Each structure stands twice: as C-alpha cells, then as structure tokens.
Amino acid sequence: MVARFFRSNAVLMALMLWIGACASERSVQQTSEPAVLPELVPGARFGCVECEGLEQLTPVAIGLGEDGRVYELDQYEPHVRMFDADGNLAATFGRSGQGPGEIQFPVAVFPGDDGEVLVYDLPGLHVFDAKGEHLRTMPWPMRVPHSFDYLANEHSLLMLSFLPRMPEARDGRSKALERWLLEGEAIEPEIVIAPQDLPADPSDATRSRVTALAFRSDGGFVLGDRWSYRLYAYDAAGEPIGEFGREIPRQSKSQQQREREREKVDRSGGRLTLQPDMNHFQQWSLKFDCQGRLWVLTTRGGPDRSAIDLFDADRRYLGEIQVAQHIVQGGPMFELAGGRLAAVVTLCRCTGWM
C-alpha cells in the first residue's frame, strides 16, 4: 500500500524537478562507443516542510504533466496542489469527505493529456478540470494494488493487484494484471495477465514475485521482479516480447532496517519472514521516457544520493545515473514526462514530517 506520512523525528522533504530526462548526445544504436547518459540539470524546488517561503507538503504521491506541471497529492486538505514548471503554486483543490468529488483515502494523481486531473481514491476515481472543478467520479471495485501506471493518451490505467481468491492462482494468492479504460461513467477492468500466467519466481516456480510495472507510450508495458532484478517486456496485447535485467548482488540491510523489520515480523505473528537483503528496486520505481528507455530507481543510493539504472528501447543496459538527492520510495513519488524528472526528495534528517 501507499505510505502515509506523520510528524516525527525523521526527515524534511521537498518536490524537485530536473530537466534533461529525455536528452542524449547520440544514440547507442549508431555507435560502438559507450552511451552518453542523460545529464539531469536541477530545476525548481516545489515545497519543503518548515522551510521559509515554500509550501508545506505531506505527500502521498505526485504526478507530472507533459507541460512540466507537477501535481502533489497530499494526505491533508487541500489534497491536490498544482505547481507550474517554475515551482509556483498555481492551484489547490480537493477536500476531505464522502460527497461528490470529496476524497477519503488518496492514493495517486494522474495528469491527463486533455487538461483533466484524475485522483485515485480507494472508493473511486475523481476527475477534475484544470481549475480544480469536480467533473465526475467513477466508482470501481475495491482493489489492493501492488503497483499501477497511467497512460494519458489512451485514458488507460494498468494495475497489478489482488483479486478475489481464484483456485488457479499461485500459492492461493490471486494477484493479476488488469487494464482499466477510464472513459465514461463506469469502469470495467480487463484482465491482461491472469494470476497463473504472471512470470514465476526464478527460484520458486510456484509463486510470482512481480510487484512493479511501467507503461510504454505505445501501450506496451514492463513488469518487474524487484527481488531478482528480472524485467519482463510485453506488447500492448499482453504478449511477452522479452526478458532482461541485471545480475548483481542485493545490498544487505542496515542494522536499523533489520531492527525495524524484525518488529514488523514480531507483530505479524509469524505471517511475515525476515529478509536480510534489500530489494533491488521498489514497486513504484520503473518509468519510461520519451525515447522508450526504461529508468529504474534502485535502492543502491544512500541518505544523500540516488542511483538510477537506464536501459535502452532494445532492453540493453546503458549505465547508472547518479542523482545528488535521496529520492523517497514510499509511494508513487518518482515521475518522468516531457523530458523532465520529478520526485519527492529528502532534504535533511531532523524533526519534521515523515
């Protein structure tokens, strides 16, 4: 589930925008020389808790439009803040409640290609215009999502989630990949990959560890196994077209991470097990750019930096991009659009919001 943020002795966060996420000096297909990785130029800083002159944010998720507008979905009212590409607050909207257009459990925000803004709320999908006026709400069946991505030009939401239990599902769990066409008043999902057809865990064919996904602009997509670093490419019809990834060791968890996880395991009454290593990436960490390259925000960074792996459109590994900020990975807080990268970053570790 998406992380929530509470006041504690932890971190100060802000929204950051980088320019150049879609640029490169030459194509790797046209030369045998090493690929030139995109150079990310820091742009605007959009908000910070307790930072003078900046909007206070408690983000649940962010969205990034092709025009550079950044949308922050907040735990508290107003739930949606819209910033222009220079970091200026342009609009706020979205109040709490159970009425038309009111938000109960905010999960994600998606900018549309027609100026509309979609807010994924667990009871349904709220649609607002560019000024924040509520247009309609589309109810849908309750889902427990692992991951999702939105393709604006097709008004399509791809979601990896748990369905009601199905006997053919691996290890009794009914995780499946669904596509939702977000047009009209009703939303009817289409199962793209059934539970028994999801890629199997390389070390245990009775289960699937796939928990991450990303849409390509042509409607194809990639699924990711964050434990083994296997990535599975599919066309728009859901047919597999290739498998790729990296053969690198997982990083060991720190003592503090192991202690926190042990507390969760103890509280679970044996339902959870302690994993000594970190996943290679998280479920919200896969994004395609305008050249069809896949960006993978990894867990190899540190408290003051992030490491992003880049694969070209033919699924070849190009290299690692270093970002001199720690990008938060507790939810959909890493987005690519219009040659820009937007993310929620940690500014310092002190008393603030977490």
Domains of the chain: residue spans and CATH: 7-353 (2.120.10.30)
Does residue 186 register a pLDDT over 80? no
Mean of pLDDT over the chain: 81
- Report the relative pairing of strands 189-193 and 210-215 from DSSP bridges: unpaired
Q: How buried is residue 124: exposed, middle or buried, by Cβ count under 10 Å (0-12/13-18/19+)?
A: middle
**pTM score, two decimals?**
0.86
- φ, ψ of residue 264 to 5 degrees: the values are -65, -40
Residue 11: per-residue pLDDT: 46
Separation CA 163–CA 178 (nearest Å): 10
Q: Which residues pair with 348 in a beta bridge?
A: 12
Residue 94's nearest CA partner among 68, 112, 76, 69 is 76
Separation CA 146–CA 214 (nearest Å): 12
Mean pLDDT: which of 22-31, 32-41, 57-66 is highest? 57-66
Q: Among 21-35, 80-94, 237-251, whose mean pLDDT is lowest?
A: 21-35
How far CA 216 is from CA of 155, 225, 233, 297, in Å, comes to: 13, 18, 10, 17
What mean pLDDT is predicted for residues 88-107? 89
What mean pLDDT is predicted for residues 73-85? 89
DSSP labels, 267-290: HTTTSS---SB--SEEEEEEEE-T
Residue 165: per-residue pLDDT: 54
Separation CA 57–CA 247 (nearest Å): 38
Does residue 221 register a pLDDT over 90? yes
Provide the edge-to-edge strand list for the sheet that holds 106-111: 106-111, 117-121, 124-128, 134-139
What mean pLDDT is predicted for residues 173-194? 80
Does residue 207 register a pLDDT over 70? yes
Residue 121's nearest CA partner among 101, 150, 93, 92 is 101
In three-state secondary structure terms, 55 is coil
Dihedral class, residue 12 (left if φ above 0, else alpha if ψ from -120 to 50, else beta): beta
Pair of tokens at residue 40: 């990310």
Separation CA 149–CA 156 (nearest Å): 9
pLDDT band at 348; cut points 50, 70, 90:
low
Separation CA 324–CA 155 (nearest Å): 34
Q: How buried is residue 102: exposed, middle or buried, by Cβ count under 10 Å (0-12/13-18/19+)?
A: middle
Pair of tokens at residue 252: 């060991």
Residue 51: per-residue pLDDT: 56
Residue 72's nearest CA partner among 121, 113, 106 is 106
Quick check: 224 and 215 in contact, CB under 8 A? no
Within 8 A by CB and 6+ apart from 276, the residues are 252, 253, 258
The CA angle 297-299-303, to the nearest 5 degrees, is 105
pLDDT band at 182; cut points 50, 70, 90:
confident
